[in-house]
Amino acid sequence: MAQETLGDWGGTLATVFYVFLGYTSMIAYCSKSGEILYHLLNIPESVSGFLFTTVFTLLISIGGTRATDQFNQWLTASMIGLLVAIEVIAVVVGGWSGLDGSGNWGKVPATIPVIIFSLVYHDLAPVLCAYLGGDLPRLRASVLLGSLIPLLSLLVWDAISLGLSAQADQVIDPVELLMRVRWSGVSVMVEAFSLMAVGTSLIGTLLGFSEFFKEQLKSLSWNSSPTKTSKESTEFFGLRNWWGRNKISFTAMAMVVTPSLFISTTVPDAFSAATDIAGGYCMTMLYGVLPPAMAWAVHNQESKDSDRNELSRARPVVFAVGIFACGIVVEQVLLDFSAFHL
């Protein structure tokens, strides 16, 4: 869409940012899964992150979309159940009493990349459309429900966080306060919920990003069938047939997973750096800067269309959204620049 509306430079720009987004997201998930499993099982972060990512890679590669979807539904249901239990425990502990507490708006800019990284899921749209067969009512329902449930959970958790923070003598992560509850099962529940949240996110990113590479490999004519030779045995020829059918999928998956695992296991604190890049730059450019520019280009191309008045009325909004997104990118550049010189 970027290439059709903005030309070759737009398509190239969107591709570059999407590739960076895919890799930084994967690095963040691989790194965070290793950190969580280290706290749960005391396995080194690099080993546990590698094993966690490998399990999901095999699930998608061998099990396919249907099996992955069934597992993801179970994972999501379990995650929601754990979240409800954690929030109930937090309310019982007294986490709902601090709604009138004060906040520090000066801390907001540094959280913007994580907010964007957590709430943007548009890169899953092509996979979702293909999976639901382009059924618009089902697509609308899935997007609406899929957004509403996390939103409600987030609002409840925000209220709980304010309450827990009001009970602390100093600024501290509300999760750490919650994990200080005498019953040790709370800490396990929090870590398990975090791991499930990473797993569901990893599935979506891995599916979407691998499909992107599949399309690129198909355009290179990798899907040609192997040439028969009379001297080949039936077993060997069957193996070659199997590889001919699946080599694009496995190669695409390897192109996604291998660099991500290498960086996540060798770079210290890869999660924080990856989320800052993904949220502050890649997602903001892909879903904040480029869409208004594309809409503006469409308006210019179709200025003689009958919907000209409707598009004209929307131009101030499109312009405002684009300026706001550019402001986020500039703010992130300034934050990174100042942190680099500290």
User: pLDDT digits over 204-253, tens only?
Assistant: 889 889 888 988 888 776 544 444 444 445 555 655 665 666 678 888 89
Contact 163, 100 (CB under 8 A): no
Q: Are 278 and 117 in contact (CB under 8 A)?
A: yes
Give the Cα separation of 339 and 342 in Å (integer).
Answer: 5
User: Rounded CA gap, 235 and 214, in Å?
Assistant: 27
pTM of the model: 0.79
Give the pLDDT confidence score for residue 54 in this predicted structure: 93
Report if residue 225 sits inside a domain.
Answer: no
pLDDT of residue 230: 47
On the question of pLDDT at 52 being above 90, the answer is yes
Q: Contact 224/48 with Cβ under 8 angstroms?
A: no
Which candidate, 66, 36, 64, 65, places its Cα nearest to that of 51? 36
pLDDT: is 188 or 228 the higher one?
A: 188
pLDDT of residue 101: 56
Decide if 166 is inside a domain: yes
Q: Is residue 123 part of a domain?
A: yes
pLDDT value of residue 14: 92
Q: What is the DSSP letter of 232?
A: S
Residue 231 in any domain: the answer is no
- Mean pLDDT taken over the chain: 81
The pLDDT assigned to 229 comes to 47
Token output for 113: 């990349």
According to DSSP, residue 228 is labeled: P
Q: Domain for residue 253, yes or no?
A: yes
pLDDT tens per residue across span 143-184: 888 888 878 878 887 777 777 666 666 656 666 666 666 556
Domain assignment of residue 116, given as a range:
1-98+109-220+243-340
* Total domains in the fold of the chain: 1
Question: Mean pLDDT highest for which of 11-15, 82-86, 333-337?
Answer: 11-15
